[in-house]
C-alpha cells in the first residue's frame, strides 16, 4: 500500500471514530452564499441530530435584498 493510501486510511479511521449515537447539543454552521447550507443544517434539526444551530455570517449577495440581518 502506498504511503498516500496509508495516510488516507489512518485519517479515515481517526475521523470515523467520532461517530456519536446521541444528538449534539449545538451544531455550528459556517454559512456561505449557497443557501443550501442552511437547508442542510435545518435537516439536522428535523432528524434530531442536534438540539440547536449556531449560524455564522451576515447578509450576502443572495440575501442582502431581503433586508434581514443575521445576529
Cβ-proximal residues to 38 (8 Å cutoff; 6+ apart), any chain: 29, 31, 55
Closest alpha carbon to 47 in 18, 33, 71, 27: 27
User: Which pTM does this prediction carry?
Assistant: 0.52
Locate the domains of the chain by residue range.
Answer: 22-71
pLDDT tens across the length of the chain (71 residues): 799 999 999 988 888 877 666 788 998 888 766 778 888 888 988 999 899 998 887 766 666 666 555 44
The C-alpha atoms of residue 32 and residue 30 are separated, in whole angstroms, by: 7
Amino acid at each position: 500500500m502506498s504511503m498516500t493510501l496509508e495516510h488516507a486510511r489512518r485519517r479515515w479511521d481517526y475521523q470515523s471514530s467520532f461517530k456519536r449515537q446521541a444528538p449534539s447539543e449545538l451544531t455550528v454552521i459556517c454559512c456561505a452564499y449557497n443557501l443550501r447550507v442552511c437547508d442542510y443544517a435545518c435537516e439536522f434539526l428535523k432528524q434530531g441530530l442536534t438540539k440547536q444551530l449556531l449560524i455564522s455570517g451576515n447578509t450576502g449577495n443572495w440575501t442582502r435584498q431581503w433586508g434581514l440581518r443575521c445576529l
